[in-house]
């Protein structure tokens, strides 16, 4: 839930919902704006048609010989020069195929309105028309035209025009209000989507926290208080965790049985060769000793592998380090070696205590063997790996002779001892390498600031 973008389920839902809301609101806005403009234009045309009817009635009365004030529409905008509102009556002479302006509104002043279609055009298909043209004052006009034939050569072409800016202004005002309304609506929809996504994905966050608690050793299983869509996944995870425990326990049992099965024949061989002082007996004792070391090494590694595969094992680091600082000064008291520890506290190793003790104990013991008088243990929290797993570094420095760069890799090989005068089997550092690898950690030997060797062990932490 923390991460956003396409790598997050919540990010995908929010992004898709926002995109869909934007598209839907945009399409709805375009449709509503179009419908509104048509309605405004229709209302504007209806107003112009009312003026047209008055003019048609005046022209009809005029041809009947009745005295009438042509064009008295009762609207002041037709009296103001170049107001953008005009009317014009043109009389058509069908015999001469000409037209002459009969009357115009005062607002037209000395100008003349253009025609959508020429009154004398024989190809015209309708007696009426509407459209937009540029008027004498360079304004955009909405124009209605009507051809009137009163018989006896009385044919008139009546034109009424209004300022199209009124249509544009009403449309722009509606579009602005519509855009603000849809913007607020879109924000409300996105906010409601965020609430729905967070509420809907909350069970997944709880499931993640439950799995994290198991991995950190705080719980043994995942609860069952989940919605019906997530409950099967939780149940499957519980079964997987239980199956993992059964596999680990079975592997431990098999390793223990194998240890007992191999130790007994080796002990019999050793006992049989013990009374004999022949070269063959010496060779047998030598090889059985090697066999015991090898069997013990691989059994320990198998046990470590099963422990590393277990889920939920967590080890407090501080108590283990403190126990070593109490133990090793007693082991090396005849050499007066000072063991100390510094660094971060309260860290936990994500793994079995026995494996952590084997790794750190071997490294401190190795440092004690070579140190002149000082061994320092430093515990430091590291950043996360690419997989998002936190790490802790356990660094052991000594002030011994150290190792040249070409010998450091050799020292980590199984059974390799660079100085035969030091006690041990030579398996210590290789055990550390193997265990660190099982836990997806890393181990390296470097030059120590104290002048000797630095053992740098990085392990997963909670």
Residues 305 and 327 in one domain: no
- Say which residue the tokens 């090697």 belong to: 290
Contact predicate 439/382, CB 8 Å: no
Cβ-contact 354, 318 below 8 angstroms: no
Q: Are 59 and 150 in contact (CB under 8 A)?
A: yes
213 Cβ contact partners less than 8 Å away, ≥ 6 residues apart: 219
Do 89 and 58 contact (CB within 8 A), yes or no?
A: no
- Is residue 431 within 8 Å of residue 342, measured between CB atoms? no
What gap in Å lies between CA 311 and CA 351, rounded to an integer? 8
| CA neighbours closer than 13 Å in the CB half-sphere of residue 191 | 6
User: What is the per-residue pLDDT across 212-252, written as a single tens digit (0 to 9) for each?
Assistant: 777 666 677 777 777 777 778 878 887 887 777 777 667 66
Beta-strand ranges (E) seen in 124-243 are: 128-134, 140-149, 155-163
- Identify whether 222 is part of a domain: no
**Domain-embedded: residue 414:** yes
CATH code where residue 357 lies: 3.30.565.10
Helix (H) or strand (E) holding 177: helix 165-215
What is the tally of structural domains in the chain? 3
CB 325 within 8 A of CB 376: no
Domain residues for the domain of 143 are 1-213
Question: pLDDT 10s digit of each residue in the chain, 462 long?
Answer: 444 556 677 788 888 888 999 999 999 999 999 999 999 999 999 999 999 999 988 888 877 766 666 777 778 888 898 889 999 998 887 666 667 888 888 888 888 888 888 877 777 767 888 999 998 888 899 999 998 888 777 888 899 999 999 999 999 999 999 999 999 999 999 899 888 888 888 888 888 888 777 766 667 777 777 777 777 887 888 788 777 777 766 766 666 667 666 766 777 777 767 776 677 777 777 777 777 766 766 666 665 555 555 555 788 999 999 999 999 999 888 888 999 999 988 898 888 888 899 889 989 998 999 899 999 999 999 887 766 678 999 999 999 988 888 787 777 664 444 443 444 444 557 778 888 888 888 898 989 999 899 999 999 887
Quick one: angle between helices 231-273 and 279-309, nearest 10? 170
Same domain, 1 and 85: yes
Using the 3D structure, point to which of 256, 277, 309 is the last residue of a domain.
309
Neighbours of 37 (CB within 10 A): 17
How far is Cα 311 from Cα 300, in angstroms, rounded to an integer? Answer: 19
Q: DSSP secondary-structure letter at 5?
A: G
Asked if 238 and 221 touch (Cβ cutoff 8 Å), the reply is yes
Residue 141 domain flag: yes
Does 273 share its domain with 321? no
Final residue before a domain boundary, out of 246, 280, 309: 309
Q: Please count the residues of the chain.
A: 462
What tens digit of pLDDT does each residue of 150-209 get?
877 788 889 999 999 999 999 999 999 999 999 999 999 989 988 888 888 888 888 888
Q: Residue 360 in contact with residue 441, Cβ under 8 Å?
A: no
281 HSE (CA, 13 A, CB side) = 10
Q: Is 1 helix (H, G, I), strand (E, B) or coil?
A: coil
Clarify whether residues 33 and 174 are in a common domain: yes
Domain boundary among 184, 213, 242: 213
User: The domain that contains 156 carries what CATH number?
Assistant: 3.30.450.20
Quick one: DSSP state of residue 336? T
Q: Is the pTM of this model over 0.75?
A: no
| Residue 92 burial (CB count, 10 A) | 20
Are 417 and 454 part of one and the same domain? yes
Radius of gyration of the chain (CA): 49
Residue 219 lies in a domain: no
Question: Is residue 224 a part of any domain in this protein?
Answer: no
Taking the C-alpha atoms of residue 61 and residue 69, their distance in angstroms, rounded to an integer, is 10
- Confirm whether 226 is domain-assigned: no
**Cα(101)–Cα(353) distance, rounded to whole angstroms?**
109
Pair (375, 290) in one structural domain: no
């Amino acid at each position: 839930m923390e991460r956003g973008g396409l790598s997050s389920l919540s990010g995908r839902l929010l992004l898709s919902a926002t995109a869909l809301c934007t598209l839907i609101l945009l399409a709805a806005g375009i449709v509503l704006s179009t419908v509104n403009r048509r309605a405004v234009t229709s209302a504007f045309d209806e107003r112009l048609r009312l003026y047209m009817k008055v003019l048609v009635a005046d022209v009809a009365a005029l041809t009947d010989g009745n005295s009438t004030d042509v064009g008295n529409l009762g609207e002041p905008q037709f009296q103001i020069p170049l107001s953008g509102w005009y009317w014009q009556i043109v009389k058509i002479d069908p015999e001469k195929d000409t037209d002459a302006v009969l009357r115009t509104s005062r607002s037209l002043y000395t100008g003349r309105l253009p025609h959508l279609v020429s009154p004398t055009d024989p190809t015209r298909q309708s007696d009426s028309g509407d459209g937009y043209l540029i008027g004498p004052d360079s304004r955009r006009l909405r124009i209605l035209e009507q051809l009137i034939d009163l018989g006896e050569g009385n044919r008139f072409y009546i034109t009424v025009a209004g300022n199209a800016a009124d249509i544009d202004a009403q449309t722009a005002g509606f579009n602005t209000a519509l855009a603000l309304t849809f913007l607020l609506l879109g924000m409300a929809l996105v906010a409601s989507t965020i609430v729905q996504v967070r509420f809907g994905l909350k069970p997944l966050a709880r499931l993640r926290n439950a799995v994290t608690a198991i991995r950190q050793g705080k719980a043994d299983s995942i609860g069952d208080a989940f919605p019906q869509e997530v409950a099967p996944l939780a149940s499957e995870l519980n079964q997987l965790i239980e199956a993992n425990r059964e596999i680990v326990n079975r592997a431990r049992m098999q390793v223990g049985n194998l240890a007992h099965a191999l130790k007994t024949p080796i002990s019999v061989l050793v006992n049989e060769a013990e009374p004999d002082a022949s070269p063959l007996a010496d060779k047998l004792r030598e090889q059985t000793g090697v066999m015991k070391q090898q069997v013990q090494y691989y059994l320990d590694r198998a046990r470590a592998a099963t422990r590393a595969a277990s889920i939920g094992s967590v080890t407090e680091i501080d108590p283990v380090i403190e126990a070593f600082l109490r133990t090793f000064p007693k082991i090396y008291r005849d050499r007066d070696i000072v063991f100390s520890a510094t660094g971060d506290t309260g860290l936990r190793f994500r793994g079995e205590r026995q494996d952590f003790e084997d790794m750190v104990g071997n490294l401190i013991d190795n440092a004690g063997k070579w140190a002149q008088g000082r061994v320092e243990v430093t515990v430091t929290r590291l950043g996360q790996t690419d997989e998002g797993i936190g790490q802790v570094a356990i660094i052991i420095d000594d002030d011994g002779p150290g190792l040249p760069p070409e010998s450091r890799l050799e020292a980590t090989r199984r059974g390799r001892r660079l100085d035969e005068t030091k006690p041990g089997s030579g398996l210590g550092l290789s055990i550390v390498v193997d265990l660190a690898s099982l836990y997806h950690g890393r181990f390296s030997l470097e030059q120590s600031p104290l002048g000797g060797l630095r053992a740098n062990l990085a392990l997963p932490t909670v």
